[in-house]
Structure 1
Amino acid sequence: MNRKDVIRYITVFLITLTLFLSATWLSSFLNGRKLEDVKNIQDKISIDILSSETQFQLLQEFSCKDVSATSLSGELNDLAKKISFSEENIKNQDQVIELKKYYSLLQIKDYLLMEKIRSKCRVSVVPIFYFYTTEENCSDCVRQSAVLTELRGQYPELRVYSFDYNLKLSALESLIKIFKVEDTKLPAVYMNERLYTGFQSTEKILKTFPELEKYRIAREKAEAQLEAQTKLGN
């Protein structure tokens, strides 16, 4: 082997080693950032849950003019997105399960509070209870979740309470017994005092709650009037 070949082999080796070390460092750096992001999400969820629980107490003390059907819906929707992110990114499933338990209890508390507000203040609230399981055991659950998420975005009066059927939580188990939900008939949607099993389309849900469209028209009319008054004021 001549001197040129030796130099060439050494050069190739050094380049390969440099690329390997760079890739290892980059992978380690990205994994570290990912873990840091997940930890931040966990901390934020804990703070949001505490904040929402405090809001529950405050809303119970306020008069009807201080509350609306959307008082806590934004917080619940944000928490749902963070829980979903955690399910996809946190490898420690025990942590995810604990977060889902907190969120499930928060939803039940929200429902009980909204029932009191609806009775006392005549606030427009339309509750739906949705029970799901893993995609492997429920091919329609993903489609059902997408439909309910879209409807919740279109109609603020609609409050969708989503629960993992397999979550070991006494309060959730009580709901399952009350609504007579079966693990072999998921997805399951309890709405308008009736349990529906299997996939429920957007059309069927809107047909079950015709008042949602009335609420939407009234809301858009009020928003248009407010916008017109604002323009006149300017």
Structure 2
Amino acid sequence: MNKEVQTKKYLYSFLITVIIFSTAIYISHYFNQKKLDEIRSIQDKIAIDILSSETQFSLLEESSCKDIGSGTLSSELGNLEDKLTYTTNQRGYNDPEVLTLKRYYALLEIKDYLLMNKISQKCKKTPLSIIYFYSNDGTCEDCEREGYVLTNLRETYPDLRVYSFDYNADLSAVKTLISINKVKNDLPAIFVKDKAYYGFQSIEDVEKAVPELLVLKAQIEASSTTKTATTTKK
């Protein structure tokens, strides 16, 4: 009798263990699948955004200068970069799909950079752009901080284009860009107006390197003061 009870106890314990283990596996699989579905959704959105941007390039090349305002020149690359950063954080820097997306994004950035320079020459507009080189191999301690600085500037000045490239990217176009501008492997590095700046650059440092930003800053502050005064009168 005791032996039978003991056997039942072992059997129940085994069944409970199997149920708990199976439930844990199911829950883990469910959330992993949900995360993968979310990442695939983001990847699809990135692909659509890239196609949209490429179509926009073709339209802008055919447009006259009077049809191209500052709003038209404002970049959607920032939103694309945010989505790519999220996907990278979810899957890791060395994930094959992430690396493919990063290569595609880098080519899109270079294409945008060339188009903006062409439009600037055609329409006699001064391009507001910064080329930023970073590394994810763990040797660049200040790259993450520099990234935050440039993100802040991009959000403050919507017309500012920030092109970010992995210095060690296995992409011939990026290597050519580095070679043409003679950028050394001393990261972080930013390239502004045919001049390279090495090491961490603060917001103030970057604003000094791009004088047009100081003009925009004064305009923004003046506009803010005017709005405040108008609101106070009401």
Q: TM-score range by the shorter chain?
A: 0.7 to 0.9
Quick check: 1:180 aligned with 2:177? no
- CA offset digits 1:64-94 (Å, max 9, x no partner): 2332344354421111112212222336733
- Aligned counterparts, 1:1-234, within 5 A: 1=2, 8-71=9-72, 73-90=74-91, 93-123=95-125, 125-183=127-185, 185-218=186-219
- CA offset digits 1:147-206 (Å, max 9, x no partner): 1111111011221110011112222112101221222x1111111321111111111111
3-state DSSP of counterpart to 1:149: helix
Alpha carbons 2:74, 2:160 under 8 Å: kept: no
Q: Distance in 2 between matches of 1:68 and 1:186?
A: 34
Give, as a single letter, the amino acid of the residue that structure 2 aligns with 1:115: N
Question: What's the Cα RMSD here?
Answer: 2.8
Q: Distance in 1 between matches of 2:208 and 2:222?
A: 22
How many residue pairs match? The answer is 228
Question: Paired residue for 1:230?
Answer: none
Structure 1 runs not aligned, ≥5 long:
227-234
3-state DSSP of counterpart to 2:51: helix
Give, as a single letter, the amino acid of the residue that structure 2 aligns with 1:39: R
Query: CA 1:220–1:64 in structure 2 vs 1: closer, same or farther (change >3 Å)?
Result: farther
3-state DSSP of counterpart to 1:199: coil
Give, as a single letter, the amino acid of the residue that structure 2 aligns with 1:106: L
Q: Distance in 1 between matches of 2:103 and 2:89?
A: 17
Q: CA deviation at 1:53?
A: 0.6
Q: CA deviation at 1:134?
A: 1.0
Structure 2 runs not aligned, ≥5 long:
228-234
Alpha carbons 1:135, 1:142 under 8 Å: kept: no
Q: Distance in 2 between matches of 1:8 and 1:73?
A: 70
Q: CA deviation at 1:23?
A: 0.8
3-state DSSP of counterpart to 1:200: coil
Query: CA 1:112–1:222 in structure 2 vs 1: closer, same or farther (change >3 Å)?
Result: farther
Q: CA deviation at 1:61?
A: 1.4
- CA offset digits 1:186-229 (Å, max 9, x no partner): 11111132111111111111122232132234356679989xxx
3-state DSSP of counterpart to 1:37: helix
* Deviates further, 208-217 or 130-139: 208-217
Alpha carbons 2:154, 2:162 under 8 Å: kept: yes
- What is the TM-score with the length of structure 2 in the denominator? 0.84
Give, as a single letter, the amino acid of the residue that structure 2 aligns with 1:136: G
Runs of 4+ in 1 over 6 A off after TM superposition: 222-226
* Deviates further, 19-28 or 43-52: 43-52
Alpha carbons 1:135, 1:141 under 8 Å: kept: no
Q: Distance in 2 between matches of 1:14 and 1:218?
A: 71
- CA offset digits 1:8-31 (Å, max 9, x no partner): 554444333322111110101111
3-state DSSP of counterpart to 1:71: helix
Query: CA 1:101–1:68 in structure 2 vs 1: closer, same or farther (change >3 Å)?
Result: farther
